[in-house]
Chains A and B, each alone.
Chain A
């Protein structure tokens, strides 16, 4: 882009109408020529200087890319922080930050693979491998690289080894012990207007006079009315109230109401039991 603008600002046209295409190409050569072509054309000293200048430009270009990536990342982090402050979530913010960065890497790698999968492959296995190819000679490193390339934008064996080792260390020493050996309580509250009738028992000693009197009869009604104040519309459900003995000293009336539910807060379950007592204490007090 820069060379195009430079040429457009010059007085000479890009392709002369009077010259050949080769002439036009040579005229544009200072702006478009590949470093390798210049290497063949010039003397060794000039080529060394050009190579150094090209390397410097590449370094500057790479630095600009890093700075641009950093800028995008920085903006993303601030957006995440702002979102977290406005809509607090259960996730920790550092998790969001690193997850965002990781997702960005995944997107970049997937895009890169779609565009030039063959180039990435040649970087690992092809004959024209880049500098540092000895790093991939180890089978374990190659496997790590293959797996890592699928998800992250870090084409470096040491980087992949750190990732996998830290992940395994976390899984083996942190996640799995916490999952299997350190359970915790989870508390929650739910609003529910329908509730099954609880088990309900009136319990007394077998020799209690009140309990003995209750053996006579019992009645159970379960009025359910749609509106709290309309006493005339009380349909009743039936419920049994059975007697059971638990050893010589314990007896109980049990409410057997498996199909009864409380649909509203004003539903009443009314249980009535005939009871009479010998009030010895009252009698002696009166005497």
Chain B
């Protein structure tokens, strides 16, 4: 469909286009996640793990990158909810060694050129292979961790700065008064 649809006049035309019968490659969903998640179904329902469509009759290369997320300080807030989602997230972000690992990935697909060879309506014994290749995209792990708003080293440094500042201005006062 090469028409550029503009305005409300073309809305009906767009809806009709979606209702047309068209060739569509069979697809499945792929999910990549931290294997320590106990309840994958709940994690998918809560959006912690996403599903991505991939062609079923193809060789798909997944280039993935990992990111650590740790939230011991409860930085992530949830609105009042009666679902189990807050607990699902909380349990995930409390994992340690390593922290909860979130994956992002890119897909490159090489579809089977002759899909009729996989069509059981033509040959009941037809069979093809869906291949998934997992490969690291980059050997770099980004880490995001909630930490207290100030480190103790900074606290002591600020205390020292306060005391030093008082002494400094006290010294200036003494110099001025001694004249």
Contacts and interface: CB of A to CB of B under 8 A. Distances in A.
Contacts of B27: 210
A102 B178 contact: no
A242 B2 CA distance: 43
A56 to B, nearest CB: 12
Given A189-B141, A190-B140, A282-B119, A151 B179 contact: no
Interface in A54-103: 59, 62-63, 66-67, 69-70, 91, 94-95, 97-102
A270 B127 contact: no
Interface string A251-281: 0101001100010111111111111111111
Contacts of A59: 178
Contacts of A266: 135
Contact of B34 (A62, A188, A198): A198
B23 to A, nearest CB: 5
Interface residues of B, number: 80
B6 interface: no
B73 to A, nearest CB: 4
Contacts of A171: 155, 159
Task: Count chain A CB atoms within 10 A of each CB in B134, B141, B170, B174 and give the residue with the most.
Answer: B134
A66 B161 contact: no
Contacts of A100: 164
A152 interface: yes
Interface stretch (B10-18, B82-90, B142-150): B142-150
A50 interface: no
Contacts of A159: 166-167, 170
B101 A198 contact: yes
B175 interface: yes
B165 interface: yes
Interface in A177-201: 178-193, 195-201
A120 interface: no
Rank and list the top 10 A-B pairs by shortest CB-CB distance, nearest first: A98-B164, A102-B164, A183-B73, A199-B35, A182-B149, A178-B149, A269-B134, A203-B29, A98-B161, A210-B56
Interface of B: 21-24, 26-35, 37, 40-41, 51, 54, 56-57, 62, 64, 66, 73-75, 98, 101, 103, 115-116, 118-121, 126-136, 138-150, 152, 155, 157-168, 170-171, 174-175, 178-179
Given A180-B148, A185-B75, A189-B143, 15 more contacts: A101-B168, A102-B167, A152-B163, A183-B73, A186-B145, A198-B101, A199-B32, A199-B37, A202-B28, A210-B27, A268-B135, A269-B134, A273-B132, A275-B127, A281-B21
